[in-house]
């Protein structure tokens, strides 16, 4: 049985609170990090791993913004609860990437408030376009993230087993989220939309790699 729907004002305040905690706090994950190995890295390897994990952390900040925005404007209470649940599952990824950054002695992106705000705006637009479009946007996002994580598995130093373990599990989870959204009735987005999404993601990854 789904929970009674909160008033719009309460959902807005909840989304704002969630956004602040996503950007400025360290949300605890519900699952332990899959990073069970240890790594002895050179300084160059540490810097490269940290840069890639910072990009992955930004991706999870954006995922929280997208899900929160889509849930906020969703008209279907069952689908809204599904977006909320997906956001909770993605918190594990947020926690794991932040933990790995700490272990590597590095920091999250300084532009996380900007990334969150931009992703929240995109999620709002997708949600307002209708549930099928919103689900289609989610599917395309998850598929692109899955490809992005696959490329990181190729780029991460072979010696950095902890980061590789985190990224590998994230890749599995993202594929499952895409499958769930597809099964829920997602529509295929027009060709220009995925291309624009890839361009925006390319800019984000290049900037977050350094800042």
Q: Is residue 32 part of a domain?
A: no
Task: Note down the domain range covering 102.
Answer: 8-16+43-208
Q: Is residue 2 part of a domain?
A: no
pLDDT of residue 3: 47
Asked if 29 contacts 183 with a C-beta cutoff of 8 angstroms, the reply is no
Q: Is residue 163 part of a domain?
A: yes
pLDDT of residue 2: 45
Per-residue pLDDT of the chain (211 residues; tens, 9 = 90+): 444 556 666 767 777 777 777 877 788 888 888 888 888 889 999 999 999 999 999 988 988 888 888 888 887 887 787 777 777 878 999 999 999 999 999 999 999 999 999 889 888 888 888 888 888 888 888 888 888 899 999 999 999 999 999 999 999 988 888 888 787 777 888 778 888 888 888 887 888 878 8
pLDDT of residue 28: 81
Q: Is residue 35 part of a domain?
A: no
Total number of domains in the chain: 1
Instruction: Indicate which CATH number applies to the domain containing 102.
Output: 1.20.1260.10
Reduced to 3 states (helix: H, G, I; strand: E, B; else coil), residue 138 is helix
Q: Which residues contact 81 (CB under 8 A, 6 or more apart)?
A: 2, 3
Q: Is residue 1 part of a domain?
A: no
Burial class (CB in 10 A: 0-12, 13-18, 19+), 106: middle
Q: Is residue 29 part of a domain?
A: no
Q: Is residue 151 part of a domain?
A: yes
pLDDT of residue 102: 93
| Torsion 48-51-55-57 (CA) sign | positive
Q: Is residue 47 part of a domain?
A: yes
pLDDT of residue 1: 42
The pTM of this model reads 0.86
Asked if 87 contacts 71 with a C-beta cutoff of 8 angstroms, the reply is yes
* CA 63, chain centre distance (Å): 3
């Amino acid at each position: 049985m789904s929970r009674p729907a909160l008033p719009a004002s309460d959902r807005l305040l909840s989304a704002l609170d969630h956004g602040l905690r996503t950007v400025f706090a360290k949300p605890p994950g519900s699952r332990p990090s899959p990073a069970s190995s240890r790594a002895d890295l050179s300084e160059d390897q540490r810097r490269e791993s940290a840069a890639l994990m910072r990009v992955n952390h930004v991706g999870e900040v954006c995922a929280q913004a997208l899900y929160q925005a889509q849930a906020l404007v969703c008209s279907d209470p069952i689908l809204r609860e599904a977006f909320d649940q997906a956001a909770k599952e993605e918190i594990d990824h947020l926690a794991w990437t932040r933990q790995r950054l700490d272990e590597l002695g590095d920091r999250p992106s300084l532009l996380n408030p900007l990334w969150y705000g931009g992703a929240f705006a995109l999620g709002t637009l997708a949600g307002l376009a209708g549930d099928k479009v919103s689900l289609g946007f989610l599917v395309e996002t998850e598929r692109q993230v899955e490809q992005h994580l696959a490329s990181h598995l190729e780029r991460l130093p072979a010696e950095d087993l902890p980061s590789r373990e985190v990224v590998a599990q994230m890749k599995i989870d993202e594929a499952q989220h895409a499958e769930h959204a597809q099964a829920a009735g997602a529509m295929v987005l027009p060709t220009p939309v995925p291309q624009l999404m890839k361009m925006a993601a390319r800019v984000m990854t290049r900037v977050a790699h350094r800042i």
